[in-house]
């Protein structure tokens, strides 16, 4: 049974979502502010976190930054009552694996959570991938460039692994989104682009200045040899 940590100051919503998710086979803990959430995370790391942008004692985005520094691969799905594009972009830039606007359909939340949890368990056949000065361990979610290790989020790991497994060959955006996000992109959905942007910042260019990850307009991405 996967354990979820639900962080939202709306106690009624937490009860409703918690009841639904419990019926769907999840074990749910709820926290209603950042302080109690930090304590819960220190005591026991869940399988995934559902985090609201607005908390009574601070921003959920600030808590997300802390989560990413301490639990790089922990799947995080953000919620926002406002659903503003800026909130969504900031959340994805800070490393959220997915994003839903409130009020959300509990069935969609369940589907998104199951998708992100499936992606958080790599297969036993996954091995280290090496191209030039870059080495990547999908199991650890760590990329090493010239001996310098960097932790990747779950979505970044899935994207890099997919690109490295067919270097030089473009991957369609929808195919890459299915691999990395566990779903298809909707109209005006820039989630994949934000994850790729974060990944490109982390891995940087080749030593000769060429980009490692190349975007093909309206098509997709590939890893440049």
pLDDT of residue 124: 46
Q: Positive or negative CA dihedral for 102, 107, 112, 113?
A: positive
Task: Kindly list the averaged pLDDT for each block of 10 residues, start to end, along the chain of length 225.
Answer: 92 93 94 95 93 91 90 89 73 89 89 85 68 91 92 92 94 92 86 94 95 91 95
- Domains of the chain by start residue, with CATH: 3-119 (3.40.50.2300), 129-223 (1.10.10.10)
Rg (CA), the chain: 18
pTM attached to this predicted model: 0.78
């Amino acid at each position: 049974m996967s354990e979820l940590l639900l962080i939202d100051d709306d106690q009624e919503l937490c009860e409703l979502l918690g009841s639904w998710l419990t019926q769907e086979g999840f074990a749910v803990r709820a926290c209603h502010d950042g302080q109690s959430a930090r304590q819960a995370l220190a005591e026991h790391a869940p399988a995934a976190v559902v985090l609201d942008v607005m908390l009574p004692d601070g921003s959920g985005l600030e808590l997300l930054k802390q989560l990413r520094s301490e639990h790089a691969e922990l799947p995080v799905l953000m919620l926002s009552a406002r659903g503003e594009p800026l909130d969504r972009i900031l959340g994805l830039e800070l490393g959220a694996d997915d994003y839903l606007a409130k009020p959300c359909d509990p069935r969609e939340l369940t589907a998104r959570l199951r998708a992100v949890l499936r992606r958080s368990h790599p297969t036993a056949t996954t091995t280290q991938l090496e191209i030039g000065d870059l080495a990547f361990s999908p199991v650890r979610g760590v990329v090493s460039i010239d001996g310098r290790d960097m932790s990747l989020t779950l979505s970044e790991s899935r994207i890099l692994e997919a690109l490295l497994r067919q270097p030089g060959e473009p991957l369609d955006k929808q195919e890459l989104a299915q691999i990395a996000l566990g779903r298809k992109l909707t109209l005006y959905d820039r989630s994949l682009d934000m994850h790729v942007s974060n990944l490109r910042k982390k891995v940087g260019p080749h030593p000769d200045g060429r980009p490692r990850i190349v975007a093909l307009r309206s098509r997709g991405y590939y890893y440049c040899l």
